Amino acid sequence: MTSIRSLAQMRPVTAVQTICPVFASFGPATIRTIKRQQYRLLVLAPLLVGLCQAGQAHAQRASPSTPSGGAVTLFQNVRIFDGKSSTLSGPRNVLVRGNQIERISTSPIPTDRSASTVLIDGGGRTLMPGLIDMHWHAMLVRPTVAQLLTGDIGHLNLVAGAEATDTLMRGFTTVRDVGGPVFGLKRAIDEGTVGGPRIFPSGAIITITSGHGDFRQPFEVPRELGATRSRGEQVGAAMIADSPDEVRVRVREQLMLGASQIKLTAGGGVASPPSPLDASTFTEAELRAAVEAAENWGTYVTAHAYTPESIRRSIAAGVKCIEHGHLMDEPTAKLIAEKGIWLSTQAFPDELAEAFPPGSSEREKAEEVFAGTDRTFTLARKYKIKTAWGTDILFSPRLARRHGELLTKLTRWYTPAETLVMATGTNAQLLTLSGKRNPYPGKLGVVEEGALADLLLVDGDPIANIKLIEDPQKNLLVIMKDGRIHKNTLAK
């Protein structure tokens, strides 16, 4: 890092070239012109530092995370669940170089036996893609609502970092974060400061006054024009927007911060006291404004919606994915299927309702939503809706420890193989809707040559016994993300 003092000792042109590599590429004529402007440049230098830093931040977002250099790992004698098929392969050898799966072969793969090559004898165990949770809130798993809205953001980030490391250790190598101030955490994970999954961030949930995500207290209403924003908005957890123009601003802000997709709440929610479940929140024009802004950036909007009305309005406005959908009816399920819209849904455990006091409106809303789980999955199957899976674990570190169990609950509606395909290959297909806003270009959710190396070595056959996923500490022997080994209990 160049110090301010050493910059002050340089000639202005050299100093500016040192601050920002862009200027280092200028030719002699340009430099002569610059020399004439040396005094002005000295004045401009601090501004240029800011601009270059901003440029570097953007560049970091675009590049793949934690490049693994030329490191080589060879998995020998593994059977592969590839994220697409319903059966395991026969014995295979899998070579990972850098952050990609380079080769899969039935015959031995020669490697140089240098110290940087890691050999893992799979002993016939199963190699599968890292799990993907499509409805995650990395910043909201461990704190309570009160801590989120009143706590120190530095503390919240550190707590979320510890949770992110645990998330990865449960075998989840990617999460789609559908709301929360997660950009700093994502960056810390990507640069290797803290262990954690790849994060596809939405940034702040965008909602309306009194919508799901508006956590203001009654005394904060009315909001004066130009008044200080609420705490939830200040920390970037949720943004309130009440017109198409305001929606556009809020969407574009999240895109500026690095959102890979945009999350809106199109209807009421369980955890927000002022939003009734039956309420449709945004108007179609407001939803359309968000869709336009997101599509101009090459990405998409996903909408929190339980009821047929809020689902239908979202689809009419161009929303590409519905979160939850637990109160949908049959004609709406048909519409979702016909339009090729994604349904990102969850099998909520009953214990989640117990987070709310008996008799409270939140408890009643939770019970109403949870009662729709069976119908939703049944309709999703019946109409072959493109279905992605996530958990939506909020404010409950206890439930987070049962992350894998929330996945295996899907075997009530799907075979174990279908369940595992959904949490890997299928979820990864939905991630591709982020287009060029995908922070991790490359193939996720599959074990195939050329795919990104996010891999789990399971002590057994998870298709024959999906419950292996419920105890990751015991049964996930190797956890690799982006070609880097984060856990290896087979290491000698």
Applying CB under 5 A, which residues contact Zn ion?
392
What is the longest distance spanned by two Cα atoms in the chain?
76
Residue whose pair of structure tokens reads 């020399």 in the numeric block: 35
305 and 344 in contact (C-beta within 8 Å)?
A: no
Beta carbon of residue 147, minimum distance to Zn ion (angstroms, whole number): 17
CB of 162 to Zn ion, least distance (A): 21
Nearest residue (CB) to Zn ion, 176 versus 487: 176
Q: How far is the CB of 268 from Zn ion (least distance, A)?
A: 13
Burial class from Cβ neighbours inside 10 Å (0-12, 13-18, 19+) for residue 63 reads exposed
Long-range contacts from 43-51, C-beta under 8 angstroms, 24+ separation: 44/16, 45/7, 45/12, 45/15, 45/16, 45/19, 48/16, 48/19, 48/20, 49/19, 49/20, 51/20
Residue nearer to Zn ion on the CB measure, 163 or 392:
392
Give the nearer residue to Zn ion in terms of CB position, either 214 or 392.
392
Backbone φ, ψ for residue 460 (5° rounding): 140, -170
**How many residues belong to the chain?**
492
Output 392 or 482, the one with its CB closest to Zn ion. Answer: 392
Looking at beta carbons, which pairs linking 409-415 to residues 24 or more positions away fall under 8 Å?
409/347, 409/349, 410/347, 410/377, 411/466, 412/347, 412/374, 412/377, 413/374, 413/377, 413/378, 413/380, 413/381, 414/381, 415/86
Closest approach of Zn ion to the CB of residue 375, in Å: 20
328 or 455: CB nearest Zn ion: 328
Q: How far is the CB of 204 from Zn ion (least distance, A)?
A: 13
Q: Which is nearer to Zn ion, 141 or 485 (CB)?
A: 141
Minimum distance of Zn ion from residue 391's CB (angstroms): 9
